[in-house]
Chain A
């Protein structure tokens, strides 16, 4: 899973399997969360978001789960494809006057053919 720190966790999955990427966020008052995907040499790309009044949100092949009790966020990718290989990181909206986003360090998803 992902956490703020100096290492980049790696998740290796077989093509066609489901992937689960985890994120521990820091502020119990954060009210909005986003998952980004960053391919090598590119900028981060929005995948899916969720507000704190929801526990689950689904997109195309992706699902985000939010557990506010333990401050945990997860991204599930169904039927993982080689094109899903990238670094995935979560962001929490820290709220306050600036509505600042705090980013995690990311998890590298490696899809094996």
Chain B
């Protein structure tokens, strides 16, 4: 089975801090994604990456950046954390960018920004 590992289960940060969320997948998947999940809003796509060093903005990229230096690792960066970025962050991977490909998710990182 595909394993998508997010480095932290819970994080508490202060407003203005720079925050790094790390994600690693072990199945040599080309595509990786970062979502945030908020009550009543479902999963919203922040950024995604088709391959190493490639990134594309999702639906809500403002306040975030990403890094994909190695195929297995996709990092989400909050340059200056704000309270409205308190959320559950989910990383996912997918084998290719073709149609009909399901996403495999990590367990999530619950981030609280105080």
User: Which A residues form the contact surface with B (CB < 8 A)?
Assistant: 4-8, 31-32, 34, 36, 41-46, 49, 51, 89, 91, 93, 95, 98-101, 103-106
Contacts and interface: CB of A to CB of B under 8 A. Distances in A.
B113 to A, nearest CB: 20
B103 A101 contact: yes
A91 B105 CA distance: 13
A104 B102 contact: no
Interface of B: 4, 39-43, 45, 48, 56, 90, 97-108
B40 A6 contact: yes
Which of B40, B42, B97, B104 has the most CB atoms of chain A within a 10 A radius of its CB? B42
Given A32-B100, A93-B99, A104-B42, 19 more contacts: A6-B40, A6-B41, A8-B40, A32-B99, A34-B102, A41-B107, A42-B107, A43-B105, A44-B90, A46-B104, A49-B100, A51-B100, A89-B43, A93-B100, A98-B56, A99-B98, A103-B42, A105-B42, A106-B42
